[in-house]
Chain A
């Protein structure tokens, strides 16, 4: 079963920060553990909260707006998609994620919707 881990409100050191190398090492060690368990499907950090753009289509018109500029306590900083045995394993990995030390991690199961085909380029299934 696949789970989406949404990482909120964790601080992230800049590459020039002396803490950067250690932070990267911890994140990589977490990814290694996920790979070792055969769980890692995808994962990426998201850039700062000033980069999102919102798109909606109403009555045939595409609306594009800058934002949303959510309150800082809801800042989405990255995600993982993990393939786990059950919720217990997903929660265990979420707790191992170094970002859980400073931020919070929302664990959401990916839904199986009959007939929906989201096969990614290359044939594997990410969701």
Chain B
């Protein structure tokens, strides 16, 4: 409803205020009888309230204005408030997603705004999961809404020639919301909520933009990550590596759904980074064990991913997959050729694991210590000191993928 109103009014704050007015009125009016179509009732009342607010603001100006030319608010003509525009709520919601994820807004603002406006979380809830102070977060949201209004950010799905780039931006925000719900503190209800909402948003975009296989690819990727949630940590919150996870605890219904969606996306023949990451996750999800994983296939997919998304982290994952097929020495050579990961704890953890498998214990210990220094998550730190401790008692030299938490 908010999406429909905001789109018609061109102003998120005004739409929110008007909708609040309408809900307040509904609480008194609906005491006895709920109208036949409550949504339509609310929209109509909210729209009328918004017009009232605009007229009041305009009258206030007119009284003081001596026929000044060309002034007045941006063109929010009453005529633009067309009934039909209020109906297609799904499409309106998509428009709102694009506005909230506009590249003219800072990334943190895009995430916060999407969570508040599209998902419906409160500033307090968002502040808690992102570990920032609530007043600062609320301020960020208000500023972003004002920028949308005052800078003329369109509340519409962008023009076709802008769409590929802007869609990539929307998908990046959704992925970030998901990873925030995935990264830490397993099982916390607000983190579960973030993951669920990210999946729901990705599905909304994929449904409303059926010609965009990357949106489907993102849905598949999120489902595949999500399917491992129960197996990623011990009951006491310790990290369990992908190789060591109890695969019977993966959510196989989610895996089946994801693989089906991924097949549909890949059939369109327009491969992109989310489909490739989804395909990698699907190979992991369908493998009976770490040893029984199609590591050659995964290494090949990472090579393709490197071609479209040449980031150091992708290169790191590629090196790890190569180590699983061609041996730790090959993987280590690739790792040692990478730049820009000196401060990334998983880079040092991966090096440590390969050095350990090569029997270079001293170097491995140094790399684990470096990883431990850089890791910030307490569970990661506990895991790494455990590995360091195990090095002193080299009883297991079996190969395992160091991809933490999978």
Interface assignment of B288: CB less than 8 Å from any CB of chain A:
no
**Which residues of B lie under 8 Å from residue A116 when comparing CB positions?**
68, 71
Determine whether the beta carbon of A109 is less than 8 Å from that of B151.
yes
Determine whether the beta carbon of A115 is less than 8 Å from that of B152.
no
Among the listed stretches A10-18, A37-45, A86-94, which one makes contact with chain B, having 4 or more residues with CB under 8 Å of it?
Answer: A86-94
**Which residues of B lie under 8 Å from residue A86 when comparing CB positions?**
152-154
Determine whether the beta carbon of B68 is less than 8 Å from that of A87.
no
Whether A119 contacts B70 in the complex (CB less than 8 A), given A88-B158, A88-B162, A114-B65, comes out as yes
Residues of A within 8 Å of B, CB-based: how many?
Answer: 19
B55 CB, min distance to chain A CBs, angstroms: 14
Interface assignment of A84: CB less than 8 Å from any CB of chain B:
yes
**Which residues of A lie under 8 Å from residue B68 when comparing CB positions?**
115-117
**Which residues of A lie under 8 Å from residue B152 when comparing CB positions?**
1, 3, 84, 86-87, 90, 109
CA distance A109 to B152 in the complex (A): 7
Whether A119 contacts B150 in the complex (CB less than 8 A), given A87-B104, A114-B61, A114-B64, comes out as no
Interface assignment of A112: CB less than 8 Å from any CB of chain B:
yes
**Size bracket of the B interface:** 20 to 34
Determine whether the beta carbon of A87 is less than 8 Å from that of B153.
yes
Interface assignment of A111: CB less than 8 Å from any CB of chain B:
yes
**Which residues of B lie under 8 Å from residue A125 when comparing CB positions?**
69-70
Determine whether the beta carbon of B64 is less than 8 Å from that of A115.
yes
**Which residues of A lie under 8 Å from residue B151 when comparing CB positions?**
87, 109
Interface assignment of B164: CB less than 8 Å from any CB of chain A:
no
**Which residues of B lie under 8 Å from residue A119 when comparing CB positions?**
69-70
CA distance A119 to B72 in the complex (A): 14
Q: Mark A74-106, 1 if CB is under 8 A from B, else 0.
A: 000000000011111011100000000000000
CB contacts under 8 Å to B, within A1-42, are 1, 3
**Which residues of A lie under 8 Å from residue B154 when comparing CB positions?**
85-88
**Which residues of A lie under 8 Å from residue B64 when comparing CB positions?**
114-115
CA distance A24 to B74 in the complex (A): 35
CA distance A109 to B151 in the complex (A): 5
**Which residues of A lie under 8 Å from residue B73 when comparing CB positions?**
112
CA distance A23 to B405 in the complex (A): 54
Q: Mark A112-126, 1 if CB is under 8 A from B, else 0.
A: 101111010000010
Whether A115 contacts B61 in the complex (CB less than 8 A), given A91-B104, A92-B162, comes out as yes
Interface assignment of B159: CB less than 8 Å from any CB of chain A:
yes
CA distance A1 to B152 in the complex (A): 7
Determine whether the beta carbon of A1 is less than 8 Å from that of B74.
yes
Q: Which of A1, A87, A91, A111 has the most CB of B within 10 A?
A: A87
Q: Mark A35-57, 1 if CB is under 8 A from B, else 0.
A: 00000000000000000000000
Main secondary structure of the interface of B (DSSP, over half): loop
Whether A111 contacts B150 in the complex (CB less than 8 A), given A88-B158, A91-B104, A92-B162, comes out as yes
B190 CB, min distance to chain A CBs, angstroms: 33
B156 CB, min distance to chain A CBs, angstroms: 8
Main secondary structure of the interface of A (DSSP, over half): loop
A42 CB, min distance to chain B CBs, angstroms: 15
Looking at the complex, which one of A84, A88, A111, A117 makes contact with B69 (CB distance below 8 Å)?
Answer: A117
Determine whether the beta carbon of A117 is less than 8 Å from that of B162.
no
Chain B residue at minimum C-beta to C-beta distance from A86: B154
**Which residues of A lie under 8 Å from residue B159 when comparing CB positions?**
88
Determine whether the beta carbon of B153 is less than 8 Å from that of A112.
no
**Which residues of A lie under 8 Å from residue B61 when comparing CB positions?**
114-115
A47 CB, min distance to chain B CBs, angstroms: 29
CB contacts under 8 Å to A, within B60-118, are 61, 64-65, 68-74, 102, 104
CA distance A90 to B152 in the complex (A): 9
A41 CB, min distance to chain B CBs, angstroms: 12
**Which residues of B lie under 8 Å from residue A87 when comparing CB positions?**
102, 104, 151-154
CA distance A116 to B162 in the complex (A): 35
CA distance A125 to B73 in the complex (A): 15
A126 CB, min distance to chain B CBs, angstroms: 10
B95 CB, min distance to chain A CBs, angstroms: 12
**Which residues of B lie under 8 Å from residue A112 when comparing CB positions?**
71-74
B181 CB, min distance to chain A CBs, angstroms: 30
Chain A residue at minimum C-beta to C-beta distance from B57: A114
**Which residues of B lie under 8 Å from residue A90 when comparing CB positions?**
152
Q: Give chain B's interface residues, CB within 8 Å of chain A.
A: 61, 64-65, 68-74, 102, 104, 150-154, 158-159, 162
9 smallest CB-CB distances across A and B, nearest first, come from A86-B154, A1-B152, A114-B61, A125-B70, A109-B151, A117-B68, A87-B152, A86-B152, A87-B153
What are some 23 contacts across the A-B interface (CB < 8 A)?
A1-B74, A1-B152, A85-B154, A86-B152, A86-B153, A87-B102, A87-B151, A87-B154, A88-B159, A92-B162, A109-B150, A109-B151, A111-B150, A112-B72, A112-B73, A114-B61, A114-B72, A115-B64, A115-B71, A116-B71, A117-B68, A117-B71, A119-B69
